[in-house]
Amino acid sequence: MKKDNNIDFQSINEPEELEIQTSSIRLVAKCWGNPDGLPVLAFHGWLDNAATFDNLAPLLPELRIISLDLPGHGHSDHRPSGSAYYFIDMVMDVIEVADVLGLENFSLLGHSMGAGVATYLAGTLREKIDYVILIEGIGSVVQEPDKMPEDFRESAIQWMNRSKKQLPFYPDIESAVKARHKVGGILESSVRTLVERGLRPVKGGYTWRCDPILKTKSRHYLTEEQAQSFIKEITSPLLLIEAKNTKKDYWYELLQKRIPLVNNLQHRIFPGEHHLHLDNPEPVAMAISEFLKKFSKKM
């Protein structure tokens, strides 16, 4: 990817909104960068939205970053009433997005849940994916087969009681920012970025745009064996960015299992917590640029 001295980097750093109609749902994306640059489909984490890359994308102006509000999140449509959200369906949604946009080859950028979407997409459309950049995750949550009946039972109970749940109400944006910030692991400035896109106005205040069904326990998980099958299929160069302060928990253990399965993998660890790409985007952007320069003859 060659640097064009005629590019107005200031203007292409200004994001634009893009609506994408697939066969079943209208999705909205926030886009940055050179329209002729390397196309990168980007995916946020669970209950976040496309603004998750607000601080990172402007630092990568030569890329065309298309950050999706995944179904039920941000400004994208909710699935039809009575529909559940299956994680693997999001992968199919993104395949359709790439087709609608006419992308023959493209790269992937994903954070947390979005890293899972990117992982399975990269393992499915191997010939179309140039580079994969994952922040805080490879693959998705998995479950042992003998635990699945218990999970389904819990999911069924939550589903049958879904009408009793009420969305939280906030009299102003500041109240929502404070509520989200209490969850921890992210700077208040970063919280504000996500919250402002994630709220919708209602009488007297605000509530969340996201579909409350997203908080219902999933009816179905892949097994670790199935997840690893997708990971082993990835042939594109892959950059994994991990936060130094990530808890040594379930997700950490999954990463350690899965890292050896990927060929052409670079693993970088930076100070920060789960949303390090929002809280401290500069080293993340530098790592991405170095990764792309190493593997791309176009830059």
Angle, nearest 10°, between helix axes 87-100 and 113-124?
60
Q: Is residue 67 flagged as an active site residue?
A: no
Q: What is the mean pLDDT of residues 100-119?
A: 97
Catalytic residue among 67, 76, 107, 112: 112
Domain extents for the chain? 9-151+222-295
CATH T-level assignment (fold) for domain 9-151+222-295: Rossmann fold (3.40.50)
pTM, two decimal places: 0.93
Residues 284 and 299: their CA atoms lie apart, in Å, by 18
Q: State the pLDDT at residue 8.
A: 47
Looking at the chain, list the stretches that DSSP marks H as alpha helix, in order from N- to C-terminal side: 9-12, 87-100, 113-124, 148-160, 173-181, 188-198, 224-232, 250-258, 276-279, 281-295
Task: Read off the pLDDT of residues 155-212 as tens digits, 9 standing for 90 and up.
Answer: 999 999 988 888 899 999 999 999 999 987 899 999 999 999 999 999 999 999 999 9
Q: pLDDT-derived band of residue 10, with 50, 70 and 90 as boundaries?
A: very low
Task: Read off the pLDDT of residues 13-35 as tens digits, 9 standing for 90 and up.
Answer: 689 999 999 999 999 999 999 99
